[in-house]
Amino acid sequence: MKRYVDERFIPIATQQLYQDLATRSFPGVIFYMAVWAALILPKAEYFFAEPRIHTTLILTAIISASAITRLLCIYTFRIQFKNHNTCNGNILLLGVIISSLAWGLCSAQLIMTASFQDAIASTMIAGAGLCAGGLASLAPSRRFLICFLVPMLIPSSIAILLVGHPFSASYAALSGLLLCGLYGISGIQRREYFNALESQYELEEKSDQLAELNTLDPLTGLKNKRFFDEKMTDEFNRAIRDNSPISLILIDLDHFKKVNDLHGHLVGDECLKEMSRALKAKFNRAIDTLARVGGEEFAVLLPTIHQDQAMALADKLRKQIEQISISCEDCDVSLTASLGVSTLYPSEESSAQELFKRADLALYEAKRLGRNQVARAPATDDYSGVTGRSTSSC
């Protein structure tokens, strides 16, 4: 597989391979039994006549049992994948070996039994047909194909050489040529199979990368407002199901418009990048969501975090922002931020918008108190004298 598929795709390609082999194997088992029936039934008066009837019945029972065993292996594989999401290819391989070995040995028995000499040609043709069918099903896996072809052809080839049939050398040579030819052809099919898989995975990877880019703010690398809104709703609903708290911190850089006006947008952009680095350093849980939700406004969504914890984290972040200093041509630019914290135990009567509104009011209060502050949302939805957010950022 390493010859055909990039290393980063090998685990998923291996899983897909085994699933495809399981899917392909089921019609293969039907074909397996159909070939045996086509060998026996058209000449039933021959195979079921004395002294051949007992051998025919025994061989039919062996072929049937091997087919049922292979079906059980396929079923076991699918159950394990469904219940445990594991792909144990050895289970499928066991079914392949049992069925092919059963056919090979039964064919050898027919060839070596004197009363079946008239059936040698049809037996060899049936085996060749099964090998061709096996190529169609098992070509993607070199290991599976070899474990099918060798037990299928070698026993009958040895048997026909031992009985001294007039064309035994020709039969054996043709079997060897068939084995080599089918193996060679399988390489082409295997390459096409894995090339198609790799193309599919590369397309999915690029699609995922594009989808990820659509969720990011290009300047800071944080999530954008659209993603944040969707994530906040999802996490809010999860908190309702889990009966757990959810906290939101809104951050607004103080007097950021003056930074842009006095030092230019390049310095302003660097301030935003430093802010995003500070957020990533402080909040690194996998379940936290960091986003840029406005020009100089940021949001941190904290599932399972209580208000006291959120307040402590917000104050640590405020102090860290105070340490940021951006060097420019004429001076160093320092930053401060105002932060609003809101925590809810969500219920069916509340909403994600309520969580955001409360944090928004708390942020307004932090700015009203003189900026470079952390304020928590009140017990109700409004402060005395507060009717909305200030629209000025300086």
- Residues that are catalytic: 296
Q: Are 274 and 335 in contact (CB under 8 A)?
A: yes
Q: Are 290 and 300 in contact (CB under 8 A)?
A: yes
How far, in Å, CA of 4 to CA of 233, rounded?
43
Residues with Cβ within 8 Å of 28's Cβ and at least 6 positions away in sequence, in order, are 133, 134, 137, 138
> In a 3-state reduction of DSSP, which class is residue 246?
strand
Closest by CA position to 289, among listed 275, 276, 299? 299
Q: Which two tokens stand for residue 109?
A: 């028995």
How far, in Å, CA of 205 to CA of 188, rounded?
26
**What is the 3-state composition of the chain as percent helix, strand, coil, each rounded to the nearest 5?**
70, 10, 25
User: CB neighbours (10 Å) of residue 347?
Assistant: 10
At 292, phi and psi to the nearest 5?
Answer: -100, 115
Closest by CA position to 363, among listed 250, 228, 232, 247? 250
How far, in Å, CA of 390 to CA of 352, rounded?
21
Q: What letter would DSSP give residue 216?
A: B
Q: What letter would DSSP give residue 292?
A: E
Q: Are 131 and 156 in contact (CB under 8 A)?
A: no
Q: Which two tokens stand for residue 389?
A: 């957010």
Q: Are 360 and 351 in contact (CB under 8 A)?
A: no
Closest by CA position to 110, among listed 98, 125, 99? 125
Residues with Cβ within 8 Å of 58's Cβ and at least 6 positions away in sequence, in order, are none
- Amino acid at residue number 111: I
E strand map for 119-263: 246-253
